[in-house]
Amino acid sequence: MRTAIHRLLLIALTSLTLSGCGTISTLGKLEDGAGSEAMRMWNRWIEGDGDIAVATTWERKVKPGVTVKDIEDILRQVAAERNMRDVGTLPLSRELEARSGRKEKFLQVYSFCTPPTARRMIDFSPHMAAYIPCRITVVERDDGLWLYTLNMDMMIKMGRKLPSPLKEEAQAVRDTIYEMMEKASRGEI
């Protein structure tokens, strides 16, 4: 593992050296704390044996006894309280069951959005369209239900500085998704 880390560090240092002024110029445009957030992601990437999805997501194990219905109710309640729209679900396990005729572990994606913030974020960076809408996925694993979502801190803390009021709006969306994950995982209505 040390050899792989050394290779990655060598690649990073080589890239930094070769890109020189462009890197220095870009660093000056980043949010304060971008380096700390990058290190948190790096550590999660290492802990996940190189799985980039581990590094870029949040997960919560759902407390035993909390049902899918409880999770759905909580997600929708928090979204409504925070003025975030429920924009649909993707019932993957139900679709797989319909195709195979076999019972599947529960797998469903819940999508939420704050349209004005989404528009402003995409105007700021068109590539952000790939991250919209915000999604929380409920995954049934052998040890119970789990919740997964994108680590929104990386978008808010690691990128170019967001102008006000977009920064505050993006933070509010991040806080809502985080609250949804926390409350749903504990079954807190």
Q: What is the pLDDT of residues 47-96, one digit of tens each?
A: 999 999 999 999 999 999 999 999 999 999 999 999 999 999 999 999 99
Q: Are 151 and 41 in contact (CB under 8 A)?
A: yes
**Tell me: domain 58-186, CATH 3.30.1340.30, correct?**
no
**Sheet with 85-90, side-by-side order of all strands:** 57-61, 144-150, 134-141, 107-113, 85-90
The residues near 61 (Cβ < 8 Å, ≥ 6 apart) are 143, 144, 145, 146, 185
How many Cα atoms sit within 13 Å of 38 on the Cβ side? 9
How many Cα atoms sit within 13 Å of 143 on the Cβ side? 6
pLDDT higher than 80, residue 32 = no
Domain ranges in the chain are 58-186
Distance, in Å, from the CA atom of 170 to the CA atom of 122, rounded to the nearest integer, reads: 12
pLDDT higher than 70, residue 40 = yes
Residue 159's CB is within 10 A of a number of other CB atoms, namely 18
Distance, in Å, from the CA atom of 102 to the CA atom of 72, rounded to the nearest integer, reads: 24
Mean pLDDT of 126-140: 96
Distance, in Å, from the CA atom of 7 to the CA atom of 48, rounded to the nearest integer, reads: 18
User: What is the pLDDT at residue 160?
Assistant: 85
Averaged pLDDT score across all residues of the chain: 89
pLDDT higher than 80, residue 161 = yes
Mean pLDDT of 179-185: 98
DSSP-assigned beta bridge partners for residue 134: 112
Q: Are 147 and 68 in contact (CB under 8 A)?
A: no
